[in-house]
Structure 1
Amino acid sequence: MDDKEKCIEFSLKKKALTFGKFKLKSGRISPYFFNSGLISNGKNILKIGLFYANIIIHSKIKFDILFGTAYKGIPIVIATSIALSHYYNINIPYAFNRKEKKIYGEKGILIGKKIKNKKVIILDDVITSGVSIYQSCNIIEEQGGKISSIFVLLDRKEKRDRIPCNNTKNYNNYKIHSIMTIEEIISHLIKNKKMIQHIPDLKKYIQQYGINEKFII
């Protein structure tokens, strides 16, 4: 079983991936939802970190620092940094953003390693509309960093016609790497008789909101 299959199985087992009727931030009503906040103990988050570490190493992308998108990207970036150190003997620093700029103490919008003139990988849990990742791209470019690539646990592969953040200069050049996609989840469910009941609603949703082209922002 490869990492994609393992990640889907793990997400189902921990009930981070669930099916039903969910209203998304975009306003869309989705038949499935992924909540990485339920993966909330040391053993489980380290496993998630290893999924990210494996795909990052396999990509052979050059980078200097990991960046976690607030808020759910924060435990992910820490776990990934630990996994890279523990399993690959690569000691990579990390940073993440605040939702609001701090005006006292160390000040600023970033916590962790400075990213100026650094090659940065962005980590987040799920990409739907892309708003949070656009915001991260803006922050990194404003701080003088150079974005190497973007990695997510789940790519929902949806149209992004409502994204309000268009300030980032190079957003069309950033490729999204995902550990799993909605198509891969459906392929996995087809093999499971207990889960096959969800497939018609998933396919209907994809027909309405999904995209077929290579997923970039």
Structure 2
Amino acid sequence: MVNVGAQTPEQGRLAQDFVRFAVEAGVLRFGEFKTKAGRMSPYFFNAGLFDDGNKLGRLAEFYAKALLASGIEFDMVFGPAYKGIPLAATVAVELARQGRNVPFAYNRKEAKDHGEGGTLVGAPLKGRVLIVDDVMSAGTAARESIAIIRAAGAVPHAVAIALDRQEKATENGQDVAHSAVQYVRQQLGMEVCAIATLADLLLYLSQKGGGAEMSAHHERVLAYRQRYGVNEGSSS
């Protein structure tokens, strides 16, 4: 299995560039936000705010560079509806621009009852499939994608996400020791490539100038990590 937990200097620089881009684009925000798990988080990552051609193109470039640097092998790209659809399409375009041309496909939430019918659009699912999504909170979307890919006779091989929150997942309303990313790696046996992690965000905040406000953001994010963070030693 490719070790995507230990960063190379190149991956570290890419992660810092991505965090900076996400903050400047207003996609990564600080304040008080309620997560799906019901926690009050001091930061929020909303990939839906990559909402123009320039932002989406740069996001795809970060995905492509992170994937190529990770060494993960895959034969095609799959985007789970709905957020994963534009991500898969633009990442496939960017990968081709960088010399790695692969097919892509996505699913519909509801089966089409006319024309070609079915729930899948694009290239036939085959070989080792890379799932592209924004974040992974509980691994639910990944499991749904895995079922679709396996039903088509292909192999769900890896997942690419923009940000790994590196925090405990919840099961039946209770915190568990592992994160959603760790679950996918360890229990489902799949590779996970994240452009950046919570640790990268903390490094950015610690190095960023800006006085008391930035320092306060760092303190709140660090306190959140200390409360909900997972053991990094088992995250790779």
Q: TM-score band (shorter)?
A: 0.7 to 0.9
**TM-fit CA distance, 1:171:** 4.6
User: What's the counterpart of residue 15 of structure 2?
Assistant: 4
**TM-fit CA distance, 1:5:** 1.1
- Are the counterparts in 1 of residues 78 and 129 from structure 2 also a CA contact under 8 Å? yes
Unpaired runs of 5+ residues, structure 1, are none
User: What's the counterpart of residue 205 of structure 1?
Assistant: 224
**TM-fit CA distance, 1:163:** 7.5
Look up the SS of the partner of 1:127 in the other structure. Answer: coil
Q: What amino acid is aligned across from residue 209 of structure 1 in structure 2?
A: Y
Look up the SS of the partner of 2:131 in the other structure. Answer: strand
Separation in structure 2 between the aligned mates of residue 104 and residue 40 of structure 1, nearest angstrom: 31
2:119 to 109, 114, 136: 109
Q: How many residues align?
A: 210
Look up the SS of the partner of 2:87 in the other structure. Answer: helix
Separation in structure 1 between the aligned mates of residue 129 and residue 235 of structure 2, nearest angstrom: 19
Look up the SS of the partner of 1:109 in the other structure. Answer: strand
User: What's the counterpart of residue 74 of structure 2?
Assistant: 63
- Are the counterparts in 1 of residues 37 and 170 from structure 2 also a CA contact under 8 Å? no
Mapping 1:7-26, distance limit 5 Å: 7-26=18-37
User: What's the counterpart of residue 208 of structure 2?
Assistant: 192
Separation in structure 1 between the aligned mates of residue 80 and residue 164 of structure 2, nearest angstrom: 15
Mapping 1:81-92, distance limit 5 Å: 81-88=92-99, 90-92=100-102
User: What's the counterpart of residue 136 of structure 1?
Assistant: 145
Look up the SS of the partner of 2:48 in the other structure. Answer: helix
Separation in structure 2 between the aligned mates of residue 27 and residue 137 of structure 1, nearest angstrom: 26
- Are the counterparts in 2 of residues 61 and 148 from structure 1 also a CA contact under 8 Å? no
Q: What amino acid is aligned across from residue 147 of structure 1 in structure 2?
A: P
**TM-fit CA distance, 1:26:** 2.5
Q: What amino acid is aligned across from residue 133 of structure 1 in structure 2?
A: A
Separation in structure 1 between the aligned mates of residue 96 and residue 208 of structure 2, nearest angstrom: 36
Unpaired runs of 5+ residues, structure 2, are 1-11, 174-183
- Are the counterparts in 2 of residues 119 and 145 from structure 1 also a CA contact under 8 Å? yes
Separation in structure 1 between the aligned mates of residue 222 and residue 103 of structure 2, nearest angstrom: 40
TM-score w.r.t. the length of structure 2 is 0.81
Q: Structure with the greater relative contact order (CA < 8 A, sep ≥ 6): 1 or 2?
A: 2
Q: What amino acid is aligned across from residue 141 of structure 1 in structure 2?
A: R
User: What's the counterpart of residue 125 of structure 1?
Assistant: 134
Q: What amino acid is aligned across from residue 64 of structure 1 in structure 2?
A: D
Summarize the Cα distance change of 1:25–1:106 in structure 2 as closer, same or farther, 3 Å threshold: farther
Summarize the Cα distance change of 1:200–1:96 in structure 2 as closer, same or farther, 3 Å threshold: same
Summarize the Cα distance change of 1:45–1:30 in structure 2 as closer, same or farther, 3 Å threshold: same
Separation in structure 2 between the aligned mates of residue 158 and residue 107 of structure 1, nearest angstrom: 39
Q: Percent identity?
A: 35
Mapping 1:21-32, distance limit 5 Å: 21-32=32-43
- Are the counterparts in 2 of residues 64 and 120 from structure 1 also a CA contact under 8 Å? yes
Stretches of 4+ moved more than 4 A in 1?
none
Mapping 1:170-185, distance limit 5 Å: 171-185=187-201
**TM-fit CA distance, 1:101:** 3.0
- Are the counterparts in 1 of residues 66 and 195 from structure 2 also a CA contact under 8 Å? yes
Mean CA deviation greater in 99-108 or 11-20? 99-108
Separation in structure 2 between the aligned mates of residue 17 and residue 74 of structure 1, nearest angstrom: 21
- Are the counterparts in 2 of residues 23 and 30 from structure 1 also a CA contact under 8 Å? yes
Mean CA deviation greater in 186-195 or 53-62? 53-62
Separation in structure 2 between the aligned mates of residue 28 and residue 114 of structure 1, nearest angstrom: 39
**TM-fit CA distance, 1:123:** 0.7
Separation in structure 2 between the aligned mates of residue 13 and residue 102 of structure 1, nearest angstrom: 39
User: What's the counterpart of residue 160 of structure 2?
Assistant: 151
